[in-house]
Amino acid sequence: MSVNENKEWKPLIVAFCCNWCSYSGADTAGNNRASYPDNVKIIRVPCSCRINPLFILRAFQRGADGVLVMGCHPGDCHYTTGNYHTRRRMTLLFSMLNYLGVESARTRVEWVSAAEGARFAEVVTDFTKTIEELGENRRLEDLRCKTN
Amino acid sequence: MQRIGVFVCHCGTNIAATVDVKAVAKAMEKEPGVVFSTDYTYMCSEAGQTLVQDSIKKYGLTGVVICSCSPHMHELTFQKAIAKAGLNPYMLEIANIREQCSWVTKDIKVATEKAIVLARAAVAKVVLNSPLTSGTTQVTKRALVIGGGIAGMQTALDIAEAGFKVDLVEKNPSIGGKMAQLDKTFPTLDCASCIVTPKMVDVGQNENIRILSYSEVAEVSGFVGNFDVKIKRKARYVDEDKCTGCGACTEKCPMKKIPNEFNHNLNNRSCIYIPFAQAVPKVATIDPRYCLMLNKGKCGICSKVCQAGAINYKAKDEYIEEKYGAIVVATGYEQIKVDKYDEYAYSQSPDVVTSLEYERLMNAAGPTNGHLLRPSDGKEPKKIVWIQCVGSRETCDPTKGPARGKPYCSKVCCMYTAKQAILTKDHYPDTDLYVFYIDVRTPGKNFDEFYRRAVEQYNVHYIKGQVGKVTPENGKLMVQGSDLLLGEQVHIEADMVVLSAAIEPSPTARPLATMLTTQMDTNDFFTEAHPKLRPVESATAGIFLSGMCQGPKDIPETVAQASAAAAKVIGLLCKKELTNNACVAHPNEMMCNGCSQCQGVCPYGAITYVEKEFRMPDRTTKVRRVAQVNEAVCQGCGACTVTCPSGAMDLRGFSNQEIMAEVDAICQ
Amino acid sequence: MASNYEVTKDEILAISGVNPLKCMQCGKCSGTCPAYDEMEYHPNQFVLMVERGEIDKLMASKSIYKCMSCMACIERCPRQVEPAKLVEAIRLAVIRKQGQNHLIPDDVPAKLDPDLPQQALVSAFRKYTK
């Protein structure tokens, strides 16, 4: 079977999910048969603090149109403090994304617990919509050169 | 070169109805490294597992990808299956094409495309997987219990009963804790010391328990199964083995005006003292702050009267070092200081007392021998007012200085107030008792009945409202409060006021938590590993929680938690060895620059730094400081891997390369 | 501002900066209040009534002039609710309406008392008059 042949553009979204909360949240969404866009492909990591900003940049470099970072709600981290590290790192990364040529709206940190299947579907649907509105990723081009 | 097998599961129609499984299997054949790809109705069935095992042998597979349900469902099943066929269990990857694909996507074409991408990512990862083995560590068959109150004693007894050695560390000269100071217990009104002193004796006589009283934990290192603990034994100036507890020294000691902590400073004790009659161990202790011999070099009377020759003025603090397999924290609580509450006049009148002080005033072994007498003039009070929630359920504005109270409910005050009121009425039926409350909280077996008894049988006046101020006037306490139900302000001319002050964790808890690298909440209560499912374990492996140090609770709850903690400890100590998590962090020592960043983010204290000798290309050697991960402690969260500025730290099972490969496979 | 203008709960909350939902009705403010017996609505009821939006009743009540602004309720409230600020806000809302001055200069001579400190008179004008 061929993939995406002669088809119009569909956003490609990579989601990093922590093993304990958001990956289980995605499973819960599945168990509840909540349907959400197929654009989102999940990568399982032990904790959201395992997500190196390089992974996100790599995804953009390779043509991803959006990257979702998902972890446990603050205070609920399986490793007690991992998601706090994530929050800080991602704030820092996002503040530099525009400079790198990626609209910062193409990334998002979301907290989804194992029970929040409906929320998982909601977040993913909403994020996909945002990315569709933003259009195709311009592959790390400097936006400052594009304006005017 | 890896030889990968891909197995696509139909899961009946769960997957096959929306995903073209044959197409997925076919697409995977073209992926680099894949030598075999097939589909089957139920991979997790016996036949499915056999298919995997046979294929491993037949095609000489080095890695396996199963496209099926969530790894949370069957990762372990398949790991075991491939291990039976001789593969390392970590040479398995699962592509979740059920929960995250077939169940959430309706269109067959779209779902099949997504399944192929997910399978491709799994293949890309498994190609880079390397066999992992879990290490094992030995378990020291000895437990340490910190705190000798009812929680610590119960835990120690239960562990000792199971046949393990226990050391019980208590900072005070005697074990017994707060329960030994109480008069009666609610809601049964049985005498606290009648039930706690036999327990203390049991602890003292148990061959497996060593009581380290008048001692404190000084240093903790190591990890689950292998803690190294340094314990400071404060100088008692009395030889514990020689002292018979006869008490001759305490009678002859000339320094008799020292506030008695056991009676909350309501009376005095001598400088050499035995805290209370039933103390365990029953040995005297010299208070070095007041002793004339220690401070001025004259006196020495206790040494002269001691027939056992137990007094040793030259004693010094000693340190002992011991290895433990598990540590139980049972550091208990204190009542908050109420002198910040000017409106209650605690510092102005001795007749305003805290509930624990009142407990001693009622206790037959207390300063008044059980006669309820006002501290100011020694007269029997006729009118007593209790004020609930003093410092409990208070929020604070951090911009306006330090908080006076605590935001939580102290849980036990409603019940002990009812108890104190009932006991007071029992002994002095003609007293008038008032209780100002916000809510009366009585969830517990026979608790509400008990409170209603105070109201209905004993006619204790419960007033819904709070006291605004207490003013000492002519030997009386003028209490002004509100009665919200009547909409009136009430003025009571009371003889005594009892403050149900909030409880707070022991001040020793915070430094201890730092030593143990366990988590605490903002109120300094120890945090349990899971609020529902792991209530007696801390997040740090091998450290368990018992009693009030984890949160406010009454005696039955404390004992239940103490026994639960003991059961967990016994379960741990019974093991021959502990299997470690295989997916742990490991540093590349050649790249590590010794910056210590990873040490700071590790929530488990698993990372240490060592000086290590390296051979340089020119055959010289050089000593460098490099990170070292204790694999028994590391839980594999990966926080250190991202923090490491030189990229030396990586996580087994979720390495940078592996995750990058997944990203690349998805974004193809 | 027209005199028939209705003051809303939101305005009172905005003026006072108080969140009445923080109140747990413990009654410590009422236990503290020195002017309690003079009041129709007591401090704890005051907070509850603002929360329920019964602003009109409070504005018509004499209670708001009985509050001496001693701030004892603010000092002792265990939940930082600050009832006195609500009373102050209601008072302000009343005098902001035209013709609602509580203290009219012509009435002053009759109320004068040799023991009354000048300061009290000045602050009363500040509090009760636009």
Q: What is the pLDDT of residues B46-80, one digit of tens each?
A: 999 999 999 999 999 999 999 999 998 899 999 99
Give the containing element (helix H, strand E) for B456. Answer: helix B447-456
Contacts of residue C123, Cβ cutoff 8 Å, sequence gap at least 6? none
| Average pLDDT over chain B, rounded to an integer | 94
Give the containing element (helix H, strand E) for B185. Answer: strand B184-185
Burial C43-71 (b: 16+ CB within 10 A, else e): bbbbbebbbeeebeebbebebbbbbeeee
ipTM: 0.90
Q: Name the burial class of residue B487, with classes exposed (0-12), middle (13-18) and buried (19+) by CB atoms within 10 angstroms of its CB.
A: middle
How far apart, in Å, are the Cα atoms of B637 and each of A24, B237, B426, B585, B593? 16, 49, 59, 8, 22
Q: Does A67 touch chain B (CB under 8 A)?
A: no
DSSP B386-427: EEEEESSS----GGGSS-SS-SS--SSHHHHHHHHHHHHHHH
Length of chain C, please? 130
Beta pairing partners, A44: A17
CA-based nearest distance A5→chain B, Å? 11
Which residue from B393, B482, B483 is facing C78, i.e. has the nearest CB? B393
Distance CA B248, CA B308 (A): 11
Length of chain A, please? 148
Contact of B17 with B78, CB cutoff 8 Å:
no
Report chain B residues whose CB lies below 8 A from the CB of A24: 72
Contacts of residue B271, Cβ cutoff 8 Å, sequence gap at least 6? B253, B255, B256, B258, B286, B287, B290, B291, B292
Whether the per-residue pLDDT at A3 is higher than 50: the answer is no
| Sheet architecture: strand order including B352-354 | B352-354, B496-501, B383-390, B432-437, B461-464
How far apart, in Å, are the Cα atoms of B403 and each of B336, B356, B393, B549, C70? 11, 22, 12, 20, 22
Distance CA B346, CA B234 (A): 33
CA-based nearest distance A65→chain B, Å? 9
Q: Name the burial class of residue B543, with classes exposed (0-12), middle (13-18) and buried (19+) by CB atoms within 10 angstroms of its CB.
A: buried
Beta pairing partners, B390: B501
Distance CA B642, CA B429 (A): 70
- Radius of gyration, CA atoms only, chain A: 15
Give the Cβ contact number of residue B623 at 10 Å: 9
pLDDT at res. A61: 85
Give the Cβ contact number of residue B57 at 10 Å: 11
pLDDT at res. B372: 94
Which chains share 3+ C-beta pairs under 8 angstroms with A? B
Q: Does B389 touch chain C (CB under 8 A)?
A: yes
Shortest CA distance from A40: residue in chain B: B114
Nearest to A70 by CA among A125, A19, A115, A1: A19
Burial B79-98 (b: 16+ CB within 10 A, else e): bebbeebebbbbbbbbbbbb
What would the pLDDT profile of B224-241 be if each residue is shown by its tens digit?
A: 899 999 999 999 999 999
Q: Does A76 touch chain B (CB under 8 A)?
A: no
What would the pLDDT profile of A50-67 be if each residue is shown by its tens digit?
A: 999 999 998 988 888 999
Length of chain B, please? 668
What value does the mean pLDDT take over residues B312-340?
96
pLDDT at res. A146: 46
Contact of A12 with A3, CB cutoff 8 Å:
no
Q: Which of residues 109-148 of B touch A (CB under 8 A)?
A: 110-114, 116-118, 121
| Average pLDDT over chain A, rounded to an integer | 86
Shortest CA distance from B398: residue in chain C: C80
Nearest to B489 by CA among C83, C79, C35: C35
Burial B583-602 (b: 16+ CB within 10 A, else e): bbbbbeeeebebbebbeebb
What would the pLDDT profile of B108-125 be if each residue is shown by its tens digit?
A: 999 999 999 999 999 999
Contact A35 B106 (CB under 8 A): yes
User: What amino acid occupies position C58?
Assistant: L
Contact of B146 with B327, CB cutoff 8 Å:
yes
Which residue from B110, B519, B667 is facing A62, i.e. has the nearest CB? B667
Report chain A residues whose CB lies below 8 A from the CB of B643: 85
What would the pLDDT profile of B489-541 be if each residue is shown by its tens digit?
A: 999 999 999 999 999 999 999 999 988 878 788 899 998 887 788 899 987 88
CA-based nearest distance B61→chain A, Å? 24
Distance CA B521, CA B510 (A): 10
Least confident of A52-61, B5-14, B629-638, C103-112: C103-112
| Helix residue ranges, H only, B30-84 | 46-59, 71-84
Report chain A residues whose CB lies below 8 A from the CB of B101: 38
Q: Considering only residues B548 and B223, tell me which one the structure prediction assigns the higher pLDDT.
A: B548
Distance CA C48, CA B484 (A): 12
What would the pLDDT profile of B166-181 be if each residue is shown by its tens digit?
A: 999 999 999 999 999 9
What would the pLDDT profile of B362-399 be if each residue is shown by its tens digit?
A: 999 999 999 999 999 999 999 999 999 999 999 988 88
CA angle B238, B244, B245 (to 5 degrees): 80
pLDDT at res. A1: 39
Report chain B residues whose CB lies below 8 A from the CB of C24: 393, 438
Q: Collapse the DSSP code of A61 into the 3-class scheme (helix H, G, I; strand E, B; otherwise coil) and give the result.
A: helix
| Sheet architecture: strand order including B215-223 | B215-223, B226-233, B318-324
Is the dihedral angle over the CA atoms B375, B379, B380, B385 positive or is it negative?
A: negative
Contact B116 A1 (CB under 8 A): yes
Shortest CA distance from B480: residue in chain C: C31
Which chains share 3+ C-beta pairs under 8 angstroms with C? B
Which residue from B396, B467, B489 is facing C36, i.e. has the nearest CB? B489
Distance CA C130, CA C118 (A): 19
pLDDT at res. B221: 85
Q: Does B487 touch chain C (CB under 8 A)?
A: yes
What value does the mean pLDDT take over residues B28-51?
94
Contact B70 A30 (CB under 8 A): yes
pLDDT at res. C4: 58
| Interstrand relation of B326-329 and B190-191 (parallel, antiparallel or unpaired) | unpaired
User: What amino acid occupies position B233?
Assistant: R
pLDDT at res. A147: 45
Burial B427-457 (b: 16+ CB within 10 A, else e): eeeebbbbbbbbebbbebeebbebbeebeee
DSSP B82-151: HHHTT--TTSEEEEE-IIIIITT---HHHHHHHHHHHHHHHHHHHHH-------EEE--SEEEEE--SHH
Q: Does B638 touch chain C (CB under 8 A)?
A: no
Distance CA B63, CA C66 (A): 83
| Sheet architecture: strand order including B326-329 | B209-212, B165-169, B142-146, B326-329, B543-545, B534-538, B528-530
End-to-end CA distance of chain B: 22
Is the dihedral angle over the CA atoms B552, B553, B555, B561 positive or is it negative?
A: negative
Tokens describing residue C56? 């009109």
What percent of chain A stands above pLDDT 90?
58
| Helix residue ranges, H only, A18-148 | 22-31, 53-61, 82-100, 117-134, 143-146
Which residue from B117, B121, B603 is facing A80, i.e. has the nearest CB? B603
Distance CA C107, CA C124 (A): 13
Distance CA B333, CA B146 (A): 13
Give the Cβ contact number of residue A12 at 10 Å: 23
Whether the per-residue pLDDT at C2 is higher than 50: the answer is no
Q: Collapse the DSSP code of B320 into the 3-class scheme (helix H, G, I; strand E, B; otherwise coil) and give the result.
A: strand
Give the containing element (helix H, strand E) for B448. Answer: helix B447-456
What value does the mean pLDDT take over residues B584-598?
92
Q: Does B235 touch chain A (CB under 8 A)?
A: no
Test the A interface: residue of B123, B132, B666, B668 with most A CBs within 10 Å: B666
Whether the per-residue pLDDT at B304 is higher than 60: the answer is yes
Contact of B224 with B328, CB cutoff 8 Å:
no
Contacts of residue B69, Cβ cutoff 8 Å, sequence gap at least 6? B9, B11, B14, B44, B96, B98, B99
pLDDT at res. C113: 81
What value does the mean pLDDT take over residues B132-142?
91
What percent of chain C stands above pLDDT 70?
94
Q: Considering only residues C33 and B632, tell me which one the structure prediction assigns the higher pLDDT.
A: C33
Which residue from C26, C36, C37 is facing B466, i.e. has the nearest CB? C26
Contact of B231 with B276, CB cutoff 8 Å:
no
Contact B482 C25 (CB under 8 A): no
Contact A30 B100 (CB under 8 A): yes
The size of the A-B interface in CB pairs under 8 A is 137
Nearest to C86 by CA among C35, C19, C38, C39: C19
Longest dimension (CA), chain C: 44
Confidence of residue C5 (pLDDT cuts 50, 70, 90): low
Test the C interface: residue of B489, B491, B497, B499 with most C CBs within 10 Å: B489
DSSP B585-618: EEE-TTT-----HHHHH-TT--EEEEEEEEE-TT
Which residue from A38, A44, A121 is facing B114, i.e. has the nearest CB? A38
Contact C28 B480 (CB under 8 A): no
Which chains share 3+ C-beta pairs under 8 angstroms with B? A, C
Nearest to C86 by CA among C61, C117, C114, C122: C61
Distance CA B318, CA B332 (A): 25
pTM score over 0.80: no
**Helices and strands counted in chain A (H then E):** 5, 4
What percent of chain B stands above pLDDT 90?
88
Q: What is the residue whose two structure tokens read 């000489």?
A: B60
How far apart, in Å, are the Cα atoms of C126 and each of C88, C89, C100, C119? 12, 13, 14, 11
pLDDT at res. A140: 61
